[in-house]
């Protein structure tokens, strides 16, 4: 009979790491939730502008998130080896990459409005979407520093810091949204554009909070971060070799959602709004498996650093079991409360009806989404990032998106063009991704178990 005690031990470790991450992710995802709710109160056009703008912004932003999440396995494995010098070097690498790539990201976002006419976005949506993108882009250099420091703290299992900074950012975002969207304190009412300014201010606040907490806890020194150690710039090549595939993986996954939102934009503001409601709430629930995935990456990296192969395998299995359990809960939650959920977003009955229909499709891919993201997290902990990136490209862009386009635009099988076909494509892509990444994880874990 299998002794389950070691698996319960690893599950408890993962849960203790994941809970603060979950709260941190909840606070940051709530920013998007708040943006959607408050912009929706202005009108469907402002809500659609935030939807379209965020659809262009988030793939680029998540590339930055993924790139800088390379700090997590680096610090986690160094923490497992008790190598303080390597920990500090990983923080420095992250900050250098964060500042430089944050500036590049800002410039890229400035060019994104050029795609709006090409993608046949409704003309009334374009001006506020452009304003939203410009405003939020100004926070990207600060976001780079924040993300690097957050990832390093998480790699040291200090996940409470992410939670504290996340809630600080959420509070500031709510207040700034109220001021900018509705025109308070003598400012003009900006509508959806105000969401971009509020988000940029919240990002700066989170960066400052994270620096303060890490410095106060004597994890890092500001002087140490700013000091370039000999050989640091040369070692950046290894950092980017690990981080770029992670960034591209997140970009590939997020960009399929973004591309679908942009393709749906041709059907008008009401369908875009319904799609945004379903996607926004699904993204809010996604923080549960995502938090487990991040905790699993930390735990796996730490155990590899400690050369504990048996515990590493147990951690992977425990993490996947937790992901499956949580996906059943979130799927049931969506099905049971769909009507109540959509009424939180809008009072327009046609939008409510379409959003409820799409939420049922969202419930169907909860399992595959949870499995694929946790397989990816475990692989990041193993510092295996290149092959998973290619597998995601295959699943999402070669399989999922073409199916969605065929059903949602071309009307394959007699299906009425619209959002429904694209959500079926999402289900197909996420399922294939879960299968491919699961197979890759098995191969990598078995190999590492023999090497460490």
Q: Give the model confidence (pLDDT) of 404-417 as tens digits.
A: 999 999 889 888 88
Residue 242's contacts (CB-CB under 8 Å, 6 or more residues apart) are 70, 73, 74, 383, 385
CB 285 within 8 A of CB 341: no
Q: What does the alpha-carbon distance between residue 211 and residue 222 come to, in Å, rounded to a whole number?
A: 8
Collapsed DSSP state (helix, strand, coil) of residue 207: helix
DSSP state of 144: H
Predicted local confidence at residue 1, as pLDDT: 47
Asked which of 262-266, 298-302, 306-310 is least confident by mean pLDDT, the reply is 262-266
Residue 337's contacts (CB-CB under 8 Å, 6 or more residues apart) are none
Q: Phi first, then psi: give them for residue 346, nearest 5 degrees.
A: -155, 155
CB 152 within 8 A of CB 94: yes
Quote the mean pLDDT of the chain: 90
Q: Compute CA distances 103 → 64, 97, 143, whole Å.
A: 11, 10, 10
CB 14 within 8 A of CB 21: no
Asked which of 2-16, 31-45, 134-148 is least confident by mean pLDDT, the reply is 31-45
State both tokens at 435.
Answer: 């299968």
State both tokens at 298.
Answer: 């930390």
Identify which has the larger pLDDT, 213 or 45.
213
State both tokens at 78.
Answer: 């160094």
Nearest by Cα to 183 from 201, 198, 164, 167: 198
Nearest by Cα to 159 from 11, 302, 21: 21
pLDDT band at residue 140 under the 50/70/90 scheme: very high
CB 37 within 8 A of CB 262: no
Asked which of 164-173, 232-241, 428-437 is least confident by mean pLDDT, the reply is 232-241
State both tokens at 49.
Answer: 């502008």
Q: How many helices (H) and strands (E) does the chain have?
A: 18, 0
Predicted local confidence at residue 130, as pLDDT: 92
pLDDT band at residue 442 under the 50/70/90 scheme: very high
CB atoms within 10 A of CB 107: 10
Does 46 have pLDDT greater than 60?
A: yes
Tens of pLDDT, residue by residue over 174-200, are 999 999 998 888 888 888 899 999 999
Predicted local confidence at residue 2, as pLDDT: 63
Q: What does the alpha-carbon distance between residue 367 and residue 206 come to, in Å, rounded to a whole number?
A: 32
Region 24-39: mean pLDDT is 84
Q: What does the alpha-carbon distance between residue 192 and residue 198 come to, in Å, rounded to a whole number?
A: 10
pLDDT band at residue 52 under the 50/70/90 scheme: confident
């Amino acid at each position: 009979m299998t002794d389950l005690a070691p698996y319960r031990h690893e599950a408890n470790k993962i849960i203790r790491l994941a809970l603060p991450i979950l709260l941190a992710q909840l606070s940051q995802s709530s920013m998007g939730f708040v943006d959607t709710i408050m912009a929706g109160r202005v009108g469907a056009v402002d809500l659609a502008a935030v939807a379209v703008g965020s659809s262009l912004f988030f793939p680029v932003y998540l590339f930055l998130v993924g790139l800088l999440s390379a700090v997590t396995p680096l610090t986690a494995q160094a923490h497992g080896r008790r190598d303080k010098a390597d920990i500090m070097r990983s923080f420095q690498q992250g900050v250098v990459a964060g500042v430089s790539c944050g500036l590049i990201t800002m410039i890229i976002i400035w060019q994104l409005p050029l795609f709006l006419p090409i993608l046949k976005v409704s003309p009334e949506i374009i001006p506020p979407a452009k304003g939203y993108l410009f405003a939020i882009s100004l926070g990207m250099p600060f976001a780079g520093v924040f993300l690097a420091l957050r990832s390093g703290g998480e790699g040291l299992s200090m996940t409470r810091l992410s939670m504290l900074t996340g809630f600080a950012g959420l509070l500031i975002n709510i207040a700034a949204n109220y001021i900018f969207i509705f025109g308070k304190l003598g400012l003009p009412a900006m509508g959806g554009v105000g969401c971009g300014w509020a988000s940029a201010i919240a990002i700066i606040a989170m960066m400052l909070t994270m620096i303060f907490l890490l410095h106060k806890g004597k994890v890092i020194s500001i002087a140490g971060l700013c000091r370039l150690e000999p050989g640091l710039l040369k070692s950046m090549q290894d950092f980017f070799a690990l981080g770029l595939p992670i960034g591209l993986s997140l970009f590939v996954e997020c960009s399929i959602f973004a591309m679908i939102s942009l393709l749906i934009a041709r059907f008008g503001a009401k369908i875009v709004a319904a799609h945004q409601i379903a996607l926004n709430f699904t993204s809010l629930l996604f923080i549960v498996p995502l938090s487990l995935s991040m905790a699993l990456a930390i735990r796996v990296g730490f155990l590899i650093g400690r050369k504990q192969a048996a515990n590493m395998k147990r951690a992977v299995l425990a993490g996947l079991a937790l992901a499956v359990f949580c996906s059943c809960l979130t799927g049931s939650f969506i099905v049971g409360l769909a009507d109540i959920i959509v009424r939180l977003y809008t009072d327009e009955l046609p939008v409510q009806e379409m959003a409820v229909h799409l939420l049922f499709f969202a419930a169907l891919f909860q399992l595959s989404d949870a499995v694929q993201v946790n397989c990816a997290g475990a692989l990041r902990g193993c510092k295996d990032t290149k092959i998973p990136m290619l597998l995601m490209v295959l699943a999402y862009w070669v399989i999922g998106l073409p199916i969605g386009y065929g059903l949602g635009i071309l009307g394959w099988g007699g299906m009425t063009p619209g959002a429904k076909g694209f959500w079926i494509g999402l289900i197909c892509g996420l399922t294939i991704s879960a299968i491919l990444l699961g197979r890759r994880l098995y191969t990598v874990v078995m190999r590492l178990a023999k090497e460490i």
